[in-house]
Structure 1
């Protein structure tokens, strides 16, 4: 029963996470916002919020307000996996339908940046070649999923610390 509740809760909050990350992506894209650091930090903040809200909901509604670190981490990672799956599907849709020229623009920008850094033509050509090899729609979709799960799992290590809540009602008397 608890596993079923955990999966349902994780799918719900994973959907909220995925849709929120898509909304942030669409917003930044429509505003032509290109600051990678700010974008990354906003995405991490969205991830942390939905993992926390989802795990707190599970803890308080299904576990009587108590949650071990392991269960907190499990809840968070499942939310992250479901959210990453949704955003990965969006990434595939984005690079194949919405902006099929996306990778060409990324390569152009990368080439300009490398030229500004004074890289040789050979170095630039090699960088472009490697980027093209790993920039197919399926590869971008896969890398989106893996990247979100990896960074989400690392952030979740910290988040779970703050979400665990020990049941002290069953503990014996404490000494002063």
Structure 2
């Protein structure tokens, strides 16, 4: 039971820290006026923060578990951190798109339409793309896509980190 309490508290603590860092990065990007067309470095920073907090979470669990951690325990912690962080961030994004910048999706669509025009798409093709895109603009669908993406990213990062850091009691004999 102590194992479960340790993993839950680590997931909650590091998930909240990751969400806070992500929201802070989003607010900074918005304040700089780069929220519609963020620089590639924002993605790099975001992935680096995610990787670091997953690794720190797995390492903390291993420390609390007397130096032992299985691959599965590490993956569970990493994916849990990412999913919790994404749930919290999705709430922030909903507030952002509803109250702070209610025309955000419209602005993003206009920007994307310009990219379509520049690439040589016809008006009919752009309209068809917009119809498909609008189906994915509801907060619920955006949150679901984000959570699935976070689970996949969390799995990849934590699978690698867990494979490196794993140490079971059987390996010590």
Whether the TM-score (by the shorter chain) exceeds 0.5 is: yes
Please list the CA deviations of residues 32-83 of structure 1 after superposition, one character each: whole Å capped at 9, or x if unmatched.
Answer: 23245322222111111111111111111x2112212121111111111211
Q: Please, what TM-score do these two structures have when normalized by structure 1?
A: 0.88
Q: Which runs of 4+ in 1 moved over 4 A?
A: 166-169
1:119 match: 121
**SS of equivalent residue, structure 1 residue 135:** coil
RMSD between aligned alpha carbons? 1.8
Partner in structure 1 of residue 43 of structure 2: 40
| SS of the residue 1:49 aligns to | helix
Separation of aligned partners in 2, 1:97 and 1:126 = 29
Q: Which structure 2 residue ranges, 5 or more long, are not aligned? A: none
Name the residue aligned to 1:26: 27
Give a deviation string over 1:80-133, Cα, whole Å, max 9, x none.
Answer: 121111111111111111111110011001100000001011111111111112
Distance between the aligned counterparts of 2:33 and 2:159, measured in 1?
33
Q: 2:12: which partner in 1? A: 11
Q: Which of 81, 87, 91 is 1:85 aligned to?
A: 87
The whole-number CA distance in structure 2 between the counterparts of 1:169 and 1:43 is 35
- The verdict on how the C-alpha distance between 1:154 and 1:169 changes in structure 2, with shifts beyond 3 A counting, is closer
- 2:167 aligns with one of 162, 165, 168: 165
Q: Aligned partners of 2:42 and 2:124: how far apart in 1?
A: 31
**Equivalent pair of 1:17/1:50 in contact (CA under 8 Å):** yes
- Deviation of residue 166 (structure 1)? 4.5
Gaps in structure 1 of 5+ consecutive residues: 172-176
- C-alpha distance in 2 between matches for 1:169 and 1:144: 37
Pick from 58, 63, 78 the counterpart of residue 61 of structure 2: 58
1:169 positional shift: 7.7
CA distance in 2, matches of 1:47, 1:163: 17
The one of 49, 66, 72 equivalent to 2:52 is 49
